[in-house]
Amino acid sequence: MIKTINLPDIGEGVVEGEVISWLKKVGDKVLQDEPVVTVMTDKATVELPSPYPGFLSKIFVEEGAIAIKGKPLYSIETAETPDSEFKEQETLKNAPKEKVQVAKDEPKVYASQEGTLKATPDVRQIAKELGIDLREIQGTGKEERITLDDLKNHLQKKRKNQDISSSKLSDDKLVPLHGIPRLMAEKMALSKREAPHFSYFEQIDATRLCQLKDNFKKAGSKENIHITFMPFIIKAVSLCLNLFPNVNSTLDMETKTLRVHKHHNIGIAISTDQGLLVPVLKNVETLSLEKIIRSYDELIKKAKANKLEPSDLKESTVTISNFGSFGGSGRWATPVINYPEVAILALAKIQKQPMIKQDTIVIREALNISWSFDHRVVDGFLAAHFSSAFRNYLENPAQLI
């Protein structure tokens, strides 16, 4: 009997996923609950197990293609006798059926603030994804509404106007984006489109922080715990979020509301064999510095061993990127917000730099930090006070204990 397996519900709000790799070939034997395919969504990369034993009889979605929730992904040929004639297609356990709503009326037409630009929502969405300014297009529809044909014609004209000789491109290599690189490209583009970024820079005297870390490092070596600066940074960020909770939020422009999150879920951008990942240390506001050190060490070890669970990559509210750990000597950055968060912190490498203390130039261990904020939520006043509080915690690190 042939059992057709649909893409299940693998996360809140997830409606599609990219097939990264098939772990079985057509004709291979498959055990019940044995992983068959790896699928990556905008939230996590997961291996999907087969709900039935048998043989892989058909693959509906090739590697690199997009699978849709509730649509066929693969089929399994089982040896069982069908219980009834009407059960021709099975989905994974607990996968809910999608509701399809049929529009009864014509699509709504929306005008711009000036009241002259009109386009249907689908046209606006496509234009937004392609980075096209609808003001450049003359609508030919009813009441000069911009139609899909108008959008297509505009794209064709733009391509014709591009004075690029195909001979110049003949030796270029086209590399398809799959997996994490494609997901990263989509998320970064979305962030820059939706959130008006602005950056704020600060230099911190990290001399005392280095001393405190060394003290913890001696104790941590006995328990095989790798002590870095990151747990201290995470603790300081959380303490600042207590003082300025609006930085720990997401903005919903449709409902015109700001969701201020109760928990401090700190995402840490790290480089792995799979690419850039952002595992999340959750409920940091409830953790002591010692607990953060242990939890962070466990999380990073899981990431390096490719053993992260989907839940480890979800629900971050603020992200930290330590570009200084990559070995570069750069001192500042303008990081891209991990949308829909409203703040991200980038850390340079701690290194000796000249500082002025009581009108005297001294050499200190300096940490250069770069913030990026969503200007719709965080203004310059809030950014300055938030960063100043962060600097105070790190320059007086006894407050972190």
pLDDT digits (tens, 9 = 90+) for 53-102: 999 999 999 988 889 999 999 999 997 644 443 344 444 444 444 443 43
Is residue 391 included in any domain, yes or no?
yes
Using CA atoms, how far apart are residues 365 and 345, in angstroms rounded to an integer?
19
Burial of 250 (0-12, 13-18, 19+ CB in 10 A): middle
| Boundary (domain end) residue, out of 31, 59, 77 | 77
CATH of the domain at 47: 2.40.50.100
| No. of helices (H) and no. of strands (E), the chain | 8, 20
pLDDT of residue 161: 65
Strands 266-272 and 318-321, by their bridges, are parallel
From 77, 93, 120, the end of a domain falls on 77
Same domain, yes or no: 347 and 204: yes
Residue closest to 203 by CA, chosen among 319, 355, 329: 355
For the beta carbon of residue 139, count every other beta carbon within 10 angstroms.
19
Residues 218 and 356 in one domain: yes
Backbone phi, psi, residue 352, to 5°:
-65, 130
The answer to whether position 168 is within a domain reads no
Closest CA to 237 of 369, 327, 64: 369
Catalogue the active-site residues.
Answer: 375
pLDDT beneath 70, residues of the chain: 12-13, 43, 80-117, 120-121, 160-170
In this predicted model, what pLDDT tens digit does every residue of 7-31 receive, in sequence order? 998 876 678 888 989 999 999 999 9
Query: Residue 310's domain spans which residues?
Result: 198-399
Instruction: Look up residue 302 and give its two tokens.
Output: 């899981």
Pairing of strands 318-321, 343-347: parallel
The answer to whether position 332 is within a domain reads: yes
- Biggest CA–CA distance in the chain, Å, is 88
In a domain? residue 102? no
Residue 164 pLDDT: 52
Q: Per this entry, what is the length of the chain? A: 401
In a domain, 35, yes or no: yes
Indicate if the alpha-carbon torsion angle 47, 51, 56, 57 is positive or negative: negative
Phi, psi dihedral angles at 259 (to 5 degrees): -90, 110
Single residue among 59, 77, 95 that ends a domain in this structure: 77
Cα–Cα distance for residue pair 151/147, rounded to 1 Å:
6
Q: Is residue 122 part of a domain?
A: no
Number of domains in the chain: 2
What does the alpha-carbon distance between residue 259 and residue 233 come to, in Å, rounded to a whole number?
A: 24
CA dist list (Å): 155 to 41, 99, 139, 352: 29, 33, 14, 53
321 inside domain:
yes
> Could you tell me if residue 101 is inside a domain?
no
Assigned token pair, 396 = 């007086």
Q: Which domain CATH number covers 268?
A: 3.30.559.10
Reduced to 3 states (helix: H, G, I; strand: E, B; else coil), residue 205 is strand
- Phi first, then psi: give them for residue 61, nearest 5 degrees: -125, 120
